[in-house]
Structure 1
Amino acid sequence: MSTLTSTTHRLIKEDQTTGIAIHDWEVRSHKTSILSSKEIDAASADLGIPIPEMIFGNNFLSIEHKSGFKLEFKALPALAMVDQSSKSSDLIKVSYAREWFDKRSMANQEHITDVIKPYDWTYTTKYGGTVLGSQFEETTNDSIDIEQLKKPDPILFYDENILFEDELADNGAAILTTKMRVMPSCFLILLRFFLRVDDVLFRIHDTRIYHRFGTNSVIRECSTKESSYRDTRARIPRSSGEDLSLLLNSNWVSSQLPEQESRVEVARLE
């Protein structure tokens, strides 16, 4: 059932789905439980790797324009981009990474018909969403309007959605989440992959999607940040003493990490 809230937008609430219809857009966020054991077996077999401990494979965030443009964020397409090259599992070392990798592989091998392949056990992914309709192209002439986002516009719809999470066998955390806010003038999505490998490194890959209503462009900004665990920990303010809680805060960590790479893309609405 949908509830009409004003002449300019309509909030959506249908079972496990919430969202908003505004101007020529429809936004939907679907949240449900983690995958069942049968779904996990099928996903592992399809991807060829053990999947994260907590995977919300049926969760999604989608935005769709009346022109046919659609952008969707899901866990399994993101995991399909995890590196499975021959040396991928050795790119990051921890004290017992080999033992952990063998253990995870053995736990899942009865459900995977192919030979277990090496894979990036941190689940690092540069997934930027699944696109239907108009495609994104790299641009140097478009950018997210930061000044517009600073304006105190009311938030008509806000949502957070977890796609997957893994504690890396108590070595840290890997988590992929979406956050979205819709204002009367625009919307902004943040898809964030956050990685913490204790005593080794921090890594963040952010994808931001921005659209100002009344324009024909959707901006996608992708960036990767990374630094050592030691250097990041050293940035904790002295006033905080040995309080390491900041290292669990992806926003604080992101503000401390140097940018490794970035690009801006644009999709034109017809």
Structure 2
Amino acid sequence: MEWKSDEKELKAAGAEPLPDGRCGLFIRGWEIESRKRSILTSLQLQQWEEELHTSHLPEMVFGDNSLVLKHVNTGTKIHFNAFDALVGWKHEALPPVEVPAAAKWKFRSKPLQQVVLDYDYTFTTPYSGSETVESNAEFVRGLSNESSSSLQWENCMDKIDLVALASKEPILFYDEIILYEDELADNGISLLTVKVRVMPSGWFLLLRFWLRVDGVLMRLRDTRLHCLFGEHMKSVILRESCWREATFQALSSKGYPSDCAAYSDPSIISERLPIIMQKAQKLSIEIPCKH
């Protein structure tokens, strides 16, 4: 269901909808826009395969879907899209997950062809978002492109306050965008999504890769970003990445159910999956004072 914003709440927060029918809003110096389109056509898929140097892509690639968060005055842009996520999949190049013989048979595209799984058919990606600094922004004019091409994230011990995020604060904008999805020939799910919500105090998003290879493995890779609006158009962004993973066998040995139907919602079962990687970073954005 499409999100409907409340005009009074937007006005009270100093926010306004984006013009020209675009989906999103402008608030406290940030332009936040989501785009949702249909899946790639066969011709577009072919072009992507050539660019990514692969003959394998997920069943459903929403190549024109995106979420863009842009701090207008500094040109800082954090965005999420399927192509960059699949570049990450190609670069990580994990070995294929071993599946039982019965499941492996179902992965065959041609019945008489021998099964050769020589690539990561789960499309697992280390992707945590894309970022650029647009050089036409006010404060980066006069800088070389090289000096303004990436953001300076710092490792930190800070944590996103999820309890505070659960407080009763008006939601000015919300959307969920699918980037790609594959049902692994009815043997599970591989899904990459990004959700965003904007409140008067800041914005929060969750980029989630969720994998379930039925009877074999579950993998959850979450990246959360929380931006608090500060004084004088200053913003601080916290980014937390957490990767979790477990085999069905390991979960079963701890007394958890081995039935695949018990693992349809990653939010519910995430705590059962042990953490294999976790890190936190911080980014401060502010417009330098003019002398």
Q: Does 1:81 align with 2:97?
A: no
What pairs up with 1:132-171 in 2 under 5 angstroms? 132-133=132-133, 135-171=151-187
Q: Which one of the candidate residues 222, 238, 252 is aligned to 2:241?
A: 222
The size of the alignment, in residue pairs, is 253
What pairs up with 1:14-33 in 2 under 5 angstroms? 14-15=20-21, 17-33=22-38
Aligned Cα root-mean-square deviation (Å): 3.0
Partners of 1:83 and 1:99 lie apart in 2 by 24
Deviation of 1:101 (Å): 6.3
8 Å Cα contact 2:62/2:82 also seen in 1: yes
What pairs up with 1:72-151 in 2 under 5 angstroms? 72-83=79-90, 88-95=94-101, 103=109, 118-133=118-133, 135-151=151-167
Deviation of 1:247 (Å): 1.0
Structure 2 partner of 1:71: 78
Partners of 1:70 and 1:132 lie apart in 2 by 5
Which region of structure 1 is more displaced relative to structure 2, 244-253 or 39-48? 244-253
What pairs up with 1:48-67 in 2 under 5 angstroms? 48-49=53-54, 50-66=56-72, 67=74
Which amino acid is 1:128 matched to? S
Which amino acid is 1:222 matched to? S
Describe the SS at the equivalent of 1:80: helix
Q: Which has the larger radius of gyration?
A: 2
Which amino acid is 1:223 matched to? C
Describe the SS at the equivalent of 2:63: coil
Deviation of 1:136 (Å): 4.3
Q: Which one of the candidate residues 267, 277, 290 is aligned to 1:251?
A: 267
TM-score (norm 2): 0.77
Q: Does 1:9 align with 2:34?
A: no
Which region of structure 1 is more displaced relative to structure 2, 65-74 or 132-141? 132-141
Partners of 2:262 and 2:34 lie apart in 1 by 28
Q: Structure 2, unaligned stretches of length 5 or more?
A: 134-149, 287-291
Deviation of 1:46 (Å): 1.3
Q: Does 1:36 align with 2:57?
A: no
8 Å Cα contact 1:57/1:76 also seen in 2: yes
8 Å Cα contact 1:73/1:129 also seen in 2: yes
Partners of 2:261 and 2:274 lie apart in 1 by 20
Partner deviation per Cα, 1:159-182 (whole Å, 9 max, x = no partner): 101000001112211000011111
Partners of 2:31 and 2:220 lie apart in 1 by 28
Which amino acid is 2:196 matched to? M
Partners of 2:219 and 2:184 lie apart in 1 by 14
Q: Percent identity?
A: 36
Structure 2 partner of 1:112: none
8 Å Cα contact 2:208/2:220 also seen in 1: yes
Describe the SS at the equivalent of 2:32: strand
Partners of 1:85 and 1:205 lie apart in 2 by 14
Partners of 1:192 and 1:85 lie apart in 2 by 17
Describe the SS at the equivalent of 1:38: helix
Which region of structure 1 is more displaced relative to structure 2, 74-83 or 127-136? 127-136
8 Å Cα contact 1:25/1:63 also seen in 2: yes
Deviation of 1:245 (Å): 4.1
Describe the SS at the equivalent of 2:256: coil
Q: Structure 1, unaligned stretches of length 5 or more?
A: 108-115, 237-241
Describe the SS at the equivalent of 2:89: coil
